[in-house]
Amino acid sequence: MNRDLVSRTDIELLVNTFYHRVRVDDILGPIFDDVADVDWDRHLPRMYSFWETVLFGASGFRGDPMAVHRELASRVSLGAPEFGRWLGLFHESVDTLFSGPRAEEAKARASRIAEVMAQHIRAGRELGGGGA
């Protein structure tokens, strides 16, 4: 049995594993690398801080993920298939590396984040705010 998430080092391992899976994924890889043109050297440390804030209450993350995803949705489809794949890869990454209450919390939080982002994108489309 794997151990639970307990430190920023664990977060970094999780985020690196997850985004490796994202980048080689047939659906998500092109969105991140071609459409969003993610600067990975900058993005990964921001995601370490994001998940450290979400899971450990750290205060290092600054940003507006909703605005970033709304803008991206104006250029590419971000709907149930994409969020489902993102969530599946995240859960798979957690389950491969960790087990325990914090690992379960990470998956639950990711599920809520995906649903909230998908709802915001759908609402923006319904209001004529763009999105694919």
Query: Is 129's pLDDT higher than 80?
Result: no
Question: Out of 14-23, 39-48, 66-75, 106-115, which region has the weakest mean confidence (pLDDT)?
Answer: 66-75
pTM of the full structure: 0.89
Beta-carbon contacts of residue 120 (< 8 Å; ≥ 6 apart): 66, 69, 70
Q: Where are the domains of the chain?
A: 8-126
CATH topology of domain 8-126: Globin-like (1.10.490)
Rounded CA separation 117/125 (Å): 12
Q: What is the mean pLDDT of residues 7-17?
A: 98
Question: Would you call 86 exposed, middle or buried from its count of C-beta atoms within 10 A (0-12, 13-18, 19+)?
Answer: buried
Of the candidates 1, 2, 24, 4, the one whose C-alpha atom is nearest the C-alpha of residue 106 is 4
What digits encode the pLDDT tens for the residues 73-93? 888 888 889 999 999 999 999
| Mean pLDDT over each residue of the chain, to the nearest integer | 90
Looking at residue 83, what is its pLDDT? 92
